[in-house]
Chains A and B, each alone.
Chain A
Amino acid sequence: MTDLPGYPSRRSFLKASAAGVALSGLAASASAEEKTPPVPLDQYERQYLNAEEWAFIMAATARLIPSEGDGPGAIEARVPVFIDLQLAGDYGTADDWYMEGPHDPTAEPARGWQTPLNPAEVYRQAIPTFNSWCETTYSKSFADLDTAQQDEALTALQKGQAVLAPELRDFFTILLANTKEGYFADPQYGGNHGMQSWVYIGFPGARAAFREWPERHNIKYPLGPVSISGERA
């Protein structure tokens, strides 16, 4: 990727920032960091998920955003790492949410989040329940099904045919939402590895400076993405 002539690019700003960091004798530049391959997913040290949950998340996200076809899948984007870190953090524990009782988890969905469980607890309870449903239906846990069966089981989960307790009924909704978040969020959160989802759709990430572009009508923006930490792709 080249910057446009005469365009004071985000990249030159980032280069200047990286130089500043180097002068202060701190860590190596962002582009050097980018060359260090991340720890393989099977060696990743989980922060929240247990082994059964990890196997489920690996298998389920791989069907929600599969690897085949153009663009990265959830596995290449390292979405499972993102989900693990989110559940270990203040999203998982619903720190910002009003969680006082009484709770009415049977209230109709339009009333919003009404389970007494936080998202991390929903994952913890829903995964074994759904695996049991898969055992009953297919005699295998979800991760061991073939991909067609996995798609069928996830569809049943989405449609409420694989019945979960009311306290867990938003599980598929948050699983899908968290998977897409991990696919598209800045790489600092563990997913969107190498910004490949941004490259795939043509989103320039944290560039956030388009002074000449409003009136460049119907011309595709040519520059690849940058991340908050200054990676380029």
Chain B
Amino acid sequence: MARQDKKRDVVIVGLGWTGSIAGIELAQEGLDILALERGHDQNTVPNFEYPQQIDELKYGVRLKMMQKPSHQTVTVRRSGDETALPYRSLGSFLPGNGVGGAGTHWNGLNWRPQPEELRLRSHVRENWGEQIIPEGMNLLDYPVTYDEMEPFYTRFEKVAGISGKAGNLNGVIQEGGNPFEGWRSEDYPMPPLPTTWDSTKFQEACTAAGLHPFHAPAGIASTAYVNPYGMQMGPCNFCGFCERFGCYQYSKSSPQTAILDALKRMPNFEYRTESEVLRVELAADGKTATGVTYWDEKAGEEVFQPADIVILSSYQLNNVHLMLLSGLGEAYDPLTGEGTLGKNYAYQMNGGVTLFFEDDNFNPFVGHGANGVCIDDFSVNQNDFGALGFIGGSYWRSGTFNGQPIRSMPLPKGTPGWGAGWKEGIGKWYGHAMSIGSHGSHMSYANNHLDLDPTYTDRHGRPLMRMTFNWQDNDLRMNQYMKSQMEPLAASMNPTSMQSGFKDVGAQYDVRPYQTTHNTGGHIMSETPAEGAVNKFSQTWKAHNVFAMGAGNFVQNTQYNPTGMVGGLAYHTVHAIRTQYLSNPRPLV
């Protein structure tokens, strides 16, 4: 028999970015809140302290901040014809673990989607007609507009502490900013960070080519900063240990640096670690949830935790898994298009060029995760989809972010992978290479979806979630277009040599190399219950007191890193809970 604990007003499942935002905003309403976190507790001190954190093997390679597949993982197949096999060791994507979640080990790139990306189906229809949408692509509009979201993006950027320069202030284009971004009501909370040698070279090449370079929007402090919760950040020292690491000096934006210490001081908030939610419990009529059942690792028992409101704020994959296991909607069927849970799983289409300069010193270990200069000249709202033959776009960036030698050792083509030639190559080329990356959109397709695996189970005996995913021609054509545009720009920089890495049409998904932890969709937002799992306020269509936050809400992935949108949506959701739901709990749409 499960233990039953006293009822709470709100139970939060997962204490990363969205769980922390829900926690602090709803705690301000005086609600009694309990957050349940599957992983361990962690904070800047003692967990991310210098010098123990500066350990490439432990965190960069053995991935000790990440979700352990032995605890939770998925199975993967490329199509409905394949048997899905477990994602046994981490490769392609790296869900986080513990307090702070993926918001602790991210790179800090914080973007807003372009307004056109939130109404992409309409944008396509109005400009080229729906006949250019390939068969099998589930192209959708978001049920929120950029204008509705703008105050919530601004709010998240102030809390998270983002450095950058506005390119569009209330419709007026600003010199040095991104002229292709949506309007901003205010400039970034902090000015841009300094520019390293590689990004300066890239910036000069872009300017010479008539493109529009700007500083990457960084969740990395450029100055001392105090956010609206009174949390303090210190300026980044370019230590080069962002991605896969916790920040040792309060410079990288994270739940720890931006929210958690302020939240923990509130007496009506409690959090429990090593508490893995197994399912959301529904009332007999199936229209509301009564609470959650979780595994209390320390007590070694199941606990039923009653609550009036359930916030699902675990990682995208884990949110979808929990919803499938709990019956919070019908599973998506790609053949009929019916059902919504697991629908529109999407990813990211990336490529890049590496440039070698034998006489330049790039000091690649001097950097941070969101370092560098970007262009948006080939982004979604700049591309003529009809003429180009694809729907999508990408942003480009150059900037050192990790010169750690086990993982970051680019060598010119033809250099042997081992032996005397390899050793000579690393001595000659380490520190003399730079890269330009293309970070591209990824549409949603009937083939790419999530459901429960029929064979494999987790340590609690629950079915693993099954990912059906492969690259699709539309996005691969977009990638090849970026290659055709990037190579001439790179060549204009006169490198000693250069080489490209862009997936081409026919590429098959390979789970081994790291690609990105931008897994999106699966509990998408929609105008009606037939199309998605949650409404515009991230409230599940199935049970009005369950809210599912995070990148699972994305109807298709944008061309940008998802955190800015995830944070904006979280503030949009908690605002609706505070102003509309608490006084009268009901479906808000």
> Which residues of A are at the interface with B, using a C-beta cutoff of 8 A?
63-66, 68-71, 73, 91, 94-100, 102, 104, 107, 109-114, 151, 154, 176, 179-181, 184-186, 189, 197-198, 200-206, 208-211, 213-221, 228, 230
Contacts and interface: CB of A to CB of B under 8 A. Distances in A.
Interface residues of B, number: 65
B86 A100 contact: yes
A185 B55 CA distance: 8
Given A208-B248, A214-B371, A219-B361, 15 more contacts: A69-B420, A97-B88, A104-B83, A110-B512, A112-B511, A200-B427, A201-B430, A202-B430, A206-B51, A208-B51, A209-B237, A214-B193, A214-B238, A221-B361, A221-B365
B239 A208 contact: yes
26 contacts: A64-B418, A65-B419, A66-B423, A94-B89, A97-B89, A98-B89, A99-B88, A104-B85, A112-B87, A112-B511, A113-B89, A184-B406, A185-B61, A201-B405, A201-B431, A202-B430, A203-B404, A203-B405, A208-B241, A210-B237, A210-B366, A214-B193, A214-B195, A214-B196, A215-B196, A221-B361
Contacts of A102: 455
Specify the main secondary structure of chain B where it touches its partner.
loop
Contact of A186 (B57, B70, B418, B456): B57
Interface string B191-231: 00111110010000000000000000000000000000000
A221 B426 contact: no
A228 B365 contact: no
Interface in B414-435: 417-420, 422-424, 426-427, 430-431
B62 interface: yes
B61 A96 contact: no
A220 B360 CA distance: 9
Interface in B343-376: 360-361, 363, 365-367, 371
B423 to A, nearest CB: 6
A69 B423 contact: yes
B281 to A, nearest CB: 27
Contacts of A204: 365
Contact of A98 (B70, B235, B418): B70
Given A203-B403, A214-B238, A221-B366, A112 B85 contact: yes
B403 A99 contact: no
Contacts of B238: 210-211, 213-214
Nearest to A99: B88
Contacts of A210: 237-240, 363, 365-366
Contacts of B509: 110
Contact of B418 (A111, A176, A202): A176
Of B62, B403, B418, B430, which is in contact with the most chain A CB atoms at under 10 Å from its CB? B418
Contact of B70 (A99, A218, A221): A99
A214 B417 contact: no
Nearest to B457: A100
Interface of B: 50-52, 54-57, 61-63, 68-70, 73, 76, 83, 85-89, 91, 193-197, 200, 235, 237-241, 248, 360-361, 363, 365-367, 371, 403-406, 417-420, 422-424, 426-427, 430-431, 455-457, 508-512
Contact of A185 (B57, B70, B73, B367): B57
A114 B240 CA distance: 33
A94 B431 CA distance: 33
Ordered nearest first, which 9 A-B pairs have the shortest CB separation? A208-B239, A185-B57, A110-B510, A201-B430, A98-B69, A214-B194, A206-B54, A217-B197, A96-B68
A184 B403 CA distance: 12
B512 to A, nearest CB: 5
Contacts of B73: 98
A163 to B, nearest CB: 20
Contacts of B57: 181, 185-186, 189
Contacts of A218: 197, 360-361
A66 B422 CA distance: 10
Given A111-B76, A220-B363, A65 B51 contact: no
A100 B248 CA distance: 36
A98 B87 contact: yes
Given A98-B87, A215-B195, A70 B424 contact: yes
A64 B419 contact: yes
Contacts of A73: 423
Given A200-B427, A228-B51, A184 B419 contact: no
A70 B429 CA distance: 13
B65 to A, nearest CB: 11
Contacts of B508: 110
A107 B91 CA distance: 17
